[in-house]
Chain A
Amino acid sequence: MGMTITEKILAAHAGKDSVSPGDLVNIKLDLVLSNDITAPIAIKQFKEIGVKDVFDKNKVVMVPDHFAPNKDIDSAEQCKMLRTFAHEQDLTNYFEVGRMGIEHALLPEQGLVLPGDAIIGADSHTCTYGGLGAFSTGMGSTDIAAAMATGETWLKVPSSIKFVFNGHLNPWVTGKDLILYTIGQIGVDGALYQAMEFTGEAISALSMDGRLSMCNMAIEAGGKSGIIGPDQKTLDYVEDRSHREFTVYKSDNDAEYTQIYEWDVSDIEPQIAFPHLPSNARGISDVGDIVIDQVVIGSCTNGRLEDLRIAAQILKGREVDKNVRCIVIPATQEIYRQAMLEGLLEIFIEAKAAVSTPTCGPCLGGHMGILAKGERALATTNRNFVGRMGHPESEVYLSGPAVAAASAIAGKIISPEHL
């Protein structure tokens, strides 16, 4: 019987010829990640284990990105714990403010994530790296502490669901819209414990940025991971970034899936997820009149260069509505620099948008754009849970960058087609 790309990666990292869904395996890890919210607990637990050094100083990555640059004294103390630990352990891949970015945009950009890798991170959106054909999944701090000590983790081999996207994408439809549509169809636990494998001609047509956005939100359907088989675009992306060998895996034709969904993307328009679950997705033409107070364009889902280019294309020569605060957050220093060179930042500023240094910030209600009671935001982020961006009685709607930029101008949620 054939294997899926996920099963092949896990078998290789478990030192086995083959694995099947449901097998409990112990796998060797290529990278172990944590951030300023999750690393403090991981560091405490690591010290509790009693080993002196991390298993490999090149493979333990720490990124202060959630409440960084330090939003207050408590957050400063948490970031300091990472800094001190990174120094003690001489970690190669600790990314300080000024060098950092949102972890899931930063790691692929820096060539730290490669096709065929097995990666765990103490952040639920670690599943992003499936966009490069890697197996990656989020875990808690204690699992990360154990992995920092041993370079290994145990997990259950997930069964896979295959999502086939046929046809050509409509204007303004991106990877974000495809994943919101998918979650809308299967629900927030529709892929619980499973790997979500995305394929089809519309996926081949997506940029790497779009693929990373899609896999990023696999967790919002309960998925253990999201994955897209590497192709020439993937290899071109990693060519100049990789500093080590990697293996390209592909699913066999006779691999087994618990379910196969097949959709024609010409039926999919830009998607909006209504409060308070990402599964409350609907097409832009079914949205109605929703007035907004804030727009956020950024996050590990949609803070990449392609997202900023799309937003700038729409904001160019226009102005953000006077009743809207529009906050643009390039996800990494490199994206920020590139946006500056391309003149995107100037377009944002002339449009009266605020541009911030990289941070997860408002996405999780941390800082840099918290909502007051009763306020409503449209965001390119990944979660619209109760109180996610601030007051428990505020609301978050989710969309891709095109609808977000158009809505910032209109002061209500609209399609770029209707500007």
Chain B
Amino acid sequence: MSCQHYNRRQFLKQAVVTGLSATVLPWIDCIKTQTKEMQMKGSVPTITGLAIARGADDPTLLVREAIKAAGGIQKFISKGDIVIIKPNIGWSRTPEQAANTNPEIVETVIELCMEAGAKKVKVFDLPCNPTPRAYRMSGIETTAKKAGADIYFMDDRKFRDITIPMGEAVKSWRMYTEIFEADKLINIPILKHHSMARLTMGMKNNMGLIGGNRESIHTQFDQKLVDLCTVIKPHLTIMDAYRVLTANGPNSGTPDDVVLAKHVIVGTDPIAVDSYGVQLFGTITNQPLTAHDIEYIRLGNLAGLGEIDLSKISVNEIDLS
């Protein structure tokens, strides 16, 4: 660069260009600061009951049988669908520690979606621990790739403030917009103990799809979670209760807290799935637990998100033992 030809005009020109690009470029992304109203895109035929498979040593078999009992995967996934699978990959823990969804169950669900002709299956979560390590240690990164799904880290640019029209405790929250653009959202939570919420299942698993100060959800937790669930509505919930964490949840880390329960629960009604989870957890741990004891399930039922009373719906249990 020669300095002799650098005159005032050129200086001004460059100053204007630099200034403009510095101010305009960030504006390309300005839309993300506006609150937006968004709804889940696709829909599935509702099944009124739950389909449960239990007893098999192989989680793959449990999933396949439970889905079959619910009417087959074709009922939920159509050809050419873009499917998002949301497992619980919250923690840097191994599958045996039962803090994350069983990787084999995730793998089987991806395979089923592929068999039903899904165009693309995406898998992601926003872990509490460093993302790469949680993905790796959960085993889901390996199995999801093996099954042919796209597993990736959530992109911080795709979070938007989404209004919650029915919200009572929160009126809007940062959510991951990709879930509103996909055809189907399948929630694959794991049934486990949680000291604050008592249990974490399908509804709580939706917290992996939100951003912002997630920790602050914990105060007035139950109502806030129900508010979020009025917007984030997975089309299908497949609950992993193969290994169940019975204490020191949601992450624990010691095998003493893990019980091999060998259940997989499938349903389209998130409250019903969670209610069954409560009942199952009560049986495993010998506690007199009902779904009404879990405040967020009770509030969710009141908000009209689903059925809490299992006697009112058909529960189709398949024993594979």
- A and B associate in one complex: no
